[in-house]
């Protein structure tokens, strides 16, 4: 798989696992769901924070 798809594919797998986990049960399943689905959100936040426009420009 080329570099373009490495991160998006990983996030897609995590999203799928996260979405499915909480419907399968409670407790640990919920935690898998919360953690897995938080990763794409965290990636957005980190990318945005690290490349935020500087106040000067």
Partner 1 sequence: MTPASLRGWRLVHRWTSLICSVNLLILCVTGLILVFHHEIQHLMGEELDTSYQEGQARLPLDTLVDIAHKSDPAKEPKFISFDPEDPAASYIYLSPPGASDFEGGSWVVLNAFTGSNQVLKPPTETVTGFLLKLHVDLFTGFAGQMFVGVMGLLFVVSTVSGLVVYGPFMKKLAFGLLRFGRGTRIANIDLHNLFGVTTLVWAFVVGLTGAILSFSPLIIGYWQQTEMAAMIGRHHGEALTGPTVAVDRVAEAGLVAFPGKDLAFIAFPGNSYASERHFSVGVRGHTELTQRILSVALVDAGTGTLAEKAETPWYITMLLLSGPFHFGDYGGLPLQIIWAIFTIITGVVTVTGFVVWLKRPRARTAPAATFSERKA
Residues in the chain: 57
The reply to whether 16 sits near partner 1 by the rule CB under 8 A is yes
Which tokens in the block code for residue 34?
Answer: 């919360």
The reply to whether 55 sits near partner 1 by the rule CB under 8 A is no
The reply to whether 26 sits near partner 1 by the rule CB under 8 A is yes
Residues that bind partner 1 (CB under 8 A): 3-8, 11-12, 15-16, 19, 22-26, 29-30, 33-34, 37-38, 40-41, 43-44, 47-48, 51-53, 57
């Amino acid at each position: 798989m080329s570099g373009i798809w490495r991160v998006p594919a990983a996030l897609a797998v995590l999203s799928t696992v996260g979405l499915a986990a909480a419907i399968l049960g409670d407790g640990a399943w919920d935690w898998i769901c919360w953690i897995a689905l938080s990763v794409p959100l965290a990636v957005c936040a980190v990318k945005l924070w690290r490349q935020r426009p500087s106040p000067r420009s």
